[in-house]
Structure 1
């Protein structure tokens, strides 16, 4: 697969923009990108240079397929569209944020502020986070005129047919895209964005505060990816994943272990808000992790609340039956392989 790697120091490592080009008709290339990278000077230059090495420029891009709305994946989409009138595809749940509709952006920011308060994030780290986000505001780039898509849609771009696989959890509209070789054929590979990553575990809970029951949705996404039994997947960051079924199940195992750790925090320290649980899990946090840490703790606490294991009272979670031993296979019902994972809050 033809990919251009792009700088990204704040999130899960270097980004990937994938180039799909149909050169079957001389002088009439059909060019598409899967994700664009972040709207920074370095990433923009690297994407332009990568396209130039292949004989293209932004003006030649006919379609941009976005795995989700996060700026390190969608930041340059509007600029590319403005240069050459490319069609920009993204799931309907994320479309308003890529279009930067004022009401959608305001609602998202309001939900984030309310989440920080609800999770018990103190004033000082909250101000640090909001300052970090304000300083990084330009990375979202220009708004794009979006063509919304949904699960099961097939896109014909860059000489490929891509089937849309909705994969929420990390983001409400996150999608994987399966290149289809023929009618009825099972896809052996997929572009997966941040649904699974080769080194870190995608953040759940803080990365998109719009997602209801984020851990439950993400576990379902991991099961769906594992069930599709791909030979290889192409993530939004770093290198391809050669055994994606094992990787998906490994990440599920990580979340089962984290669920156990959250239960242990409540057993040892009593009722607590997500910020306090996060401090026990991750220690001191800075930058974007001030959002991701308590968000991850919240995702697990929220999952346990819906399972009837904890109760929420005045912003704090407590064990309903402190002395009870729980079957974690019931709480996080995903098969677990014998392998290890690296966590990133």
Structure 2
């Protein structure tokens, strides 16, 4: 089954066979356009994989899309969230309120949501500003990055660990922990149908954002985790991929290997960039010299912040491999090739 990416206006709820439906839910104002929500039938009510962005239009699309598939949103049994990002977890709380459904996700992302609720947006805004200044960002970028952010999603009722089966009567839906895009990102292997719900981990055309926050932390290696997770998914074999964006495709393993190769090439290019610089550079300087889909000068401040996070994740991976080193100067973090 393959459904090439089309504008949201052309998307419709689709019967994928085997008791699985896809329901496109819009992401207002986002170039991705929509999230593909999957509904799995069960004798005790449908279980959703992700829920979509928290917006009235998205809620109507989810409710009406399920109705078109012969399902009542008030009878949803549970929502499995692949990761905490708002285009995946945003409506989970409203589904729970409407139906009494449980919400499940990996503990690492559940912990992040709890932290967001505990600290509040004002504290997170100050933390983002400090992170950007240490990276070498200018005042405009700091101001843009500290603008309003959506409210954190609902705290889950249940957590899932690697290898756990989801509460889906009559089916075998197994959790595959795939950290990288977020610390608690999960894929879901429908073992009785050789299908893999890939969330944002493996997409058919684009690659997910792999960043590190704060940029200068040293207690994690998200790109290293992501590359290991790609190998893990490739090891599951040639499964049909049901991703959260773009379109359904075959051969998850082949695409996972392609994405891994892409990042290894990016790491090589980054090492060359630092060697040619001849001096330590800030994360912001490095990001501005890297190759992106659009020229750095054309990127709005928010996208520059995301690019810097990706640069930082690649730098951290190279640091773990012993290929680059930190060269702090004042409050700023700088990187150079390891001599």
**TM-score tier (shorter):** 0.7 to 0.9
Deviation at 1:275, TM superposition (A): 1.2
Aligned to 1:227: 235
The offset of 1:38, in angstroms, is 0.5
- 1:14 equivalent in alignment to 2:34: yes
Q: Secondary structure at the match of 1:90?
A: strand
Name the residue aligned to 1:155.
166
Cα distance in 2 between the residues matched to 1:205 and 1:235: 20
Q: After superposition, give the CA deviation of every residue in 1:213-255 in whole Å (9 maximum; x if it has no partner).
A: 1111011001111111132111111101212112111111111
Aligned residue in 2 for 1:280? 289
**Which moves more between the two structures, 67-76 or 241-250?**
241-250
Instruction: State how 1:1-345 maps to structure 2 within 5 Å.
Output: 1=16, 2-8=21-27, 9-10=29-30, 12-23=32-43, 29-98=44-113, 102-103=117-118, 112-131=128-147, 134=148, 136-138=149-151, 140=152, 143-157=154-168, 159-181=170-192, 188-206=194-212, 212-270=220-278, 271-281=280-290, 282=292, 283-284=296-297, 285-286=299-300, 288-314=302-328, 315-321=333-339
Any unmatched runs of 5+ in structure 2?
A: 1-15
Q: Distance in 2 between matches of 1:58 and 1:144?
A: 20
TM-score, normalization by structure 2: 0.83
The aligned residue for residue 9 of structure 2 is: none
CA RMSD between the two structures: 2.4
> Is the contact between residue 196 and residue 248 of structure 1 (CA under 8 Å) also seen in structure 2?
yes
**The residue matched to 1:157 in structure 2 has which SS?**
coil
Contact 1:233 1:241 (8 Å CA) reproduced: yes
Q: 1:12 to 1:221 in 2, by over 3 A?
A: farther
After superposition, the Cα gap between the structure-2 partners of 1:237 and 1:188, relative to the gap in structure 1 and judged at 3 Å, is same
* Mapped contact 2:141–2:302 kept (Cα < 8 A): no
2:105/2:156 contact within 8 Å kept:
no
Question: CA separation in 1, counterparts of 2:157 and 2:125?
Answer: 21
1:162, CA displacement in angstroms? 1.0
Q: In structure 2, what is the Cα distance between the partners aligned to 1:231 and 1:195? A: 14
Shift of 1:175: 0.4
Secondary structure of the equivalent of 1:228? coil
Conserved 8 A contact 2:128-2:145: no
- The alpha carbon displacement at 1:85 in A equals 0.6
Where structure 1 has 5 or more consecutive residues not aligned to the other structure, the ranges are 24-28, 182-186, 322-345
Q: Which digits, 9 at most, give the CA deviation of each residue in 1:141-169, with x for residues without a partner?
A: 5x244211111111132642211110001
Give the direction of change, closer, same or farther, for the CA distance of 1:196–1:47 in structure 2 (3 Å limit): same
TM (norm. structure 1) is: 0.81
